[in-house]
A and B are shown apart, each in its own frame.
Chain A
């Protein structure tokens, strides 16, 4: 079996039947990483020694027939998720030497299943970007074309899964940061419902929008990982007490009669025809399976990007105020006074995009501008939620493109923040409304680059989202990148 492209369920079988050991799987990943990661730069930190120790413990559990779904599975973790004793940089000079003294709740949960953590993956600095080119340490490249971006901000995780440098990964999604890189790299990525997964130990960007989620080679794999990482957490007051089902339980069930809505604004000008065409073709596939396709409208979409950026940056400028160079993080050599030390530490530690977002957040919250910007953005948040609720009265899932274009060249867009922000148009409303969504590949453009579509569900209905994405995946032939 080609283990580089194997799904978790396939690896589980191989591990449990002792056809491969956890250490062998781990070695296969590190061999691939060592041979190719100089080109693709997926990882900021590799944890090889720790990985082999974890593989040994996992193997013991497997040998005792006590393995759970993720025991011995080699995984990569986005570098904004705190890992006790392992550097967590957020791809920022500000946290270049930061070693968390605790684990994020998701890490506690994954470790309790004895995963094998291979390392920490690159990302846009503090998750602010959609290209992974704002990383201070590893500007990740797309495995389908090393001249192109992998997307972001979870670009390192997406590229690592796509390139076979791990079996699956964790990412985080504030405005599309799991789904967009998943689309660019030809993998499956899931943003769970807001509150489904604890954010404790996730370095905060915009707390009302951030959510940790799985990135893998299938919707089923995403469900398997979500089963492990979800649930109420006393350390996160926004984590949900809702019942936790088996997220893979509806996989394979007939989707005949399922109502799928296509909001027309997501297929308007601004979306590449190759992309809208591929998503419409996927809708036809669903129709041939017995699903009912419904056209619908989301008029507020035209205001979604500014509303998202105003809310996200307002929260970010508050969240990032903790970086003062004193408690932890980069500390400047310049500054005789407390105030000067903080200002120089922040100026040296943060990159350009992070600083821009702090400026925008402060602008939105400033006296005289608050109602016109932050207040209006919060009103739009309510409107977007209402429009989604109205659409979900008539359908079970919503189908949209994940991105307006396929992966662009590394030298494109980067110097134009407005162009970068507008590229988030297809993903931000899902975060604003707190909904679950999966991005899965549905085609390839003329250059052979992956096209992603998003399956969006009702709050806490990840089961149906995974069911629908899996049903399509079973009809679709994926292409693996040639490294």
Chain B
């Protein structure tokens, strides 16, 4: 797998890599994709009608407002201020 593709996938995965890390991942991904390519030998197609037998739509609860986790608890593991998550400025 070439560096360009690794960089593209890293961007999709929101991962920052140094140049050395990109090269190392290019090497590993090449051998991993070779292993994945073995499935190309078999000629079969996915049939979506065979799946999702276990989804019970009546189990879904009504779209009513119900008590949820307290804000204080939700924010406990985050950098927070005034009951809000803190993020870098996103608007000019």
Size range of the interface on A?
35 or more
Q: Verify B39–A321 contact, CB threshold 8 A.
A: no
Report chain B residues within 8 Å CB of A343.
Answer: 14-16
Q: Verify A356–B40 contact, CB threshold 8 A.
A: no
Report chain A residues within 8 Å CB of B17.
Answer: 347, 355
User: Does A290 count as interface, using CB distance less than 8 angstroms?
Assistant: no
B88 touches which of A237, A321, A336 (Cβ 8 Å): A336
Q: Verify B36–A347 contact, CB threshold 8 A.
A: no
Q: Verify A328–B77 contact, CB threshold 8 A.
A: yes
Q: Verify B87–A326 contact, CB threshold 8 A.
A: yes
Q: Verify A346–B15 contact, CB threshold 8 A.
A: yes
Interface size on B, residues (CB 8 A): 51
A237 touches which of B37, B45, B59, B87 (Cβ 8 Å): B59
Complex formed: what's the CA distance from A98 to B41 in Å? 44
Q: Verify A310–B16 contact, CB threshold 8 A.
A: no
Secondary structure call for the A interface: helix
Closest to A434 in B: B54
Closest to A358 in B: B13
Complex formed: what's the CA distance from A104 to B78 in Å? 20
Complex formed: what's the CA distance from A1 to B90 in Å? 65
Per-position 1/0 for B58-92, Cβ under 8 A of A: 01110000000100011011110000011110100
User: Does A360 count as interface, using CB distance less than 8 angstroms?
Assistant: yes
Residue pairs across A and B with CB atoms within 8 Å: the count is 149
A379 touches which of B44, B86, B87 (Cβ 8 Å): B44
Given contacts A327-B85, A347-B15, A358-B13, contact A195 B54 (CB under 8 A): yes
Q: Verify A382–B29 contact, CB threshold 8 A.
A: no
Minimum C-beta distance from A187 to chain B (A)? 30
Given contacts A101-B73, A366-B9, A376-B44, contact A306 B29 (CB under 8 A): no
A305 touches which of B5, B35, B42 (Cβ 8 Å): B35
Minimum C-beta distance from A461 to chain B (A)? 16
Minimum C-beta distance from A403 to chain B (A)? 18
User: Does A481 count as interface, using CB distance less than 8 angstroms?
Assistant: no
Complex formed: what's the CA distance from A382 to B38 in Å? 17
A380 touches which of B6, B39, B59, B90 (Cβ 8 Å): B39
Complex formed: what's the CA distance from A342 to B50 in Å? 38
A372 touches which of B1, B40, B54, B69 (Cβ 8 Å): B40
Pairs of residues from A and B, 6 with the lowest C-beta to C-beta distance, nearest first: A328-B77, A101-B73, A347-B16, A379-B46, A358-B13, A343-B16
Residues of A within 8 A of B (CB): 97-99, 101-102, 195, 234, 237-238, 240-241, 300, 302-303, 305-307, 309-310, 317, 321, 324, 326-329, 331, 335-344, 346-347, 350, 355-356, 358-364, 366, 372-373, 375-380, 382-383, 417-418, 421-422
Residues of B within 8 A of A (CB): 1, 5-6, 8-10, 12-17, 25, 28-29, 31-42, 44-47, 50-51, 54-56, 59-61, 69, 73-74, 76-79, 85-88, 90
